[in-house]
Amino acid sequence: MRKVRRKTGGISFLTAMICICFVVVGILCITRYANISKQKERLKAENESLIAQSEALSDKLKQIRAQEEFGKDDAYIESVARAQLDMVYPGEIIFRVTGEKYN
């Protein structure tokens, strides 16, 4: 008479393969999520940096426009011409005072 073999409560090959596939897919999902989280943080920091640069450039543009408006004023043009270019009106005499003493 032949003995009949019974399963002894072990898992079948198919069940083991399905479990292994779930574990591998789970690990892949976790690593992908970690990479996406790191990329999100990096992009968030880059965005904050770009916003700060944008605000700085906006402030600089406002200053340039204010100087441009101020530069249209005749009094400003005259003061720059006198101070930086040493220009004078006809007939004016410039006296330069230095810190040297004469004996």
74 lies in some domain: yes
Tell me the Cα Rg of the chain: 41
7 lies in some domain: no
Give the chain's domain count.
Answer: 1
DSSP-assigned letters across all residues of 70-88: HHTSHHHHHHHHHHHH---
Q: What is the residue range of 56's domain?
A: 14-85
Per-residue confidence band for 103, with pLDDT thresholds at 50, 70 and 90: low
Structure token digits, residue 14:
């198919």
The conformation of residue 56, written as its DSSP 8-state character, comes to H
36 lies in some domain: yes
User: Given this model, what pLDDT does residue 7 score?
Assistant: 59
pTM check: above 0.85: no
